[in-house]
């Protein structure tokens, strides 16, 4: 658990007071932007997107005159070629690394399309195609996550929910526990964000959103009381985790989930709109007092 963490501004003020930074140096740190996106990176993202659009354009053109097998061969060839190019660019590092990672995204998507088309050619069921393709993409994303600054995490996050949706559709469709599986996949994404990966914020945020949406879905699945209680417990734990870890995005999403499910519970418990409103206010007050208690113990949401 993170304890006694301080903001950047507080650290700068302490270092300035201790003489570790001059007044001008401290001001430079205060004035520096929190996020900087170099033009070369923007150009790399744009270039990767253009390459992907070009590949799609070529595939569309080929579809008019070439058999599915020929298109699939072209897709596999393109994916391997872009994978080699991506590897070489990332190996050189520096500014070329961003371009290499953007091309890695193109390579992964092209490879996924190629796998999907191949399975369609051999008449594999659609749900199973989605399961296999998302599994392949997920494996690639996880493999790249510790070796890249952003693309491995993005691929993993993008593939996780389609993978879970395919599992549900193939094996356990239309049951009350279906939303809870998305709670599981969201929890895995948050656990994944604790590893040494790039763009941890994206994985945490996507995981938190998945958990909250799934909890709301579970709470409204049937007209009973116990499901909203479980949903409330889930988002409550999410909120507490975010507060203790000082992840503002989890706190914000968890707090929204608590508010919504509190409204669902109030609707189940009370017929009076006045009592429903008062119950929501009461839960809000509990959240505030809990946050204050945590803050007095040395934790602060930043």
Return mean pLDDT, the chain.
80
What's the CA gap between 21 and 278, in Å, rounded?
Answer: 51
Average pLDDT over residues 196-209: 89
Higher pLDDT, 229 or 283: 229
Residue 131 pLDDT exceeds 60: yes
Contact, 93 vs 36, CB < 8 A?
Answer: no
Q: State residue 220's pLDDT score.
A: 87
Q: State residue 38's pLDDT score.
A: 57
What's the CA gap between 190 and 205, in Å, rounded?
Answer: 8
Average pLDDT over residues 277-288: 75
Residue 5 pLDDT exceeds 70: no
pLDDT band at 267 (very low <50, low <70, confident <90, very high): confident
Provide, rounded to the nearest whole percent, the portion of the chain with pLDDT above 90.
Answer: 23
For 50, half-sphere exposure in the C-beta direction (CA atoms, 13 angstrom radius) is 7
Q: State residue 27's pLDDT score.
A: 76
Residue given tokens 């994303």 in the structure block:
141
Per-residue pLDDT tens digits for 184-197: 999 999 999 988 88
Residue 37 pLDDT exceeds 60: no
Q: State residue 105's pLDDT score.
A: 86
Higher pLDDT, 72 or 37: 72
Q: State residue 110's pLDDT score.
A: 87
| pLDDT-wise least confident of 152-156, 209-213, 225-229 | 225-229
Per-residue pLDDT tens digits for 234-263: 998 998 888 888 788 888 888 888 888 888
From 73, 79, 70, select the one nearest 51 (Cα to Cα): 79
């Amino acid at each position: 658990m993170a304890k006694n963490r301080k903001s950047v501004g507080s650290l700068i003020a302490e270092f300035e007071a201790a003489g570790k930074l001059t007044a001008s140096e401290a001001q430079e740190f205060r004035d520096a932007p929190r996020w900087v996106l170099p033009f070369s990176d923007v150009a790399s993202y744009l270039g990767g997107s253009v390459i992907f659009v070009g590949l799609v354009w070529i595939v569309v053109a080929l579809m008019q005159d070439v058999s599915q097998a020929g298109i699939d061969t072209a897709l596999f060839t393109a994916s391997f070629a872009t994978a080699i190019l991506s590897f070489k660019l990332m190996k050189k590092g520096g500014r070329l690394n961003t371009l290499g990672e953007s091309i890695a995204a193109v390579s992964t998507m092209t490879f996924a399309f190629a796998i999907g088309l191949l399975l369609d050619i051999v008449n594999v069921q659609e749900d199973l195609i989605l399961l296999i393709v998302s599994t392949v993409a997920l494996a690639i994303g996880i493999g790249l996550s510790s070796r890249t600054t952003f693309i491995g995490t993005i691929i993993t996050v993008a593939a996780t929910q389609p993978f879970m949706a395919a599992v549900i559709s193939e094996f356990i469709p239309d049951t009350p526990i279906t939303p809870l599986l998305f709670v599981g996949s969201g929890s895995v994404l948050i656990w994944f964000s604790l590893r040494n990966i790039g763009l941890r914020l994206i994985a945490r945020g996507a995981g938190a959103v998945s958990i909250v949406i799934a909890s709301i879905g579970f709470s409204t699945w049937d007209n009973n009381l116990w499901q909203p209680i479980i949903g409330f417990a889930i988002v409550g734990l999410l909120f507490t985790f975010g507060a203790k870890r000082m992840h503002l995005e989890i706190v914000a999403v968890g707090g929204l989930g608590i508010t919504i499910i509190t409204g669902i519970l109030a609707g189940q418990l009370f017929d009076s709109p006045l009592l429903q409103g008062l119950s929501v206010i009461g839960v809000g007050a509990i959240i505030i007092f809990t946050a204050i208690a945590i803050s007095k113990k040395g934790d602060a949401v930043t």
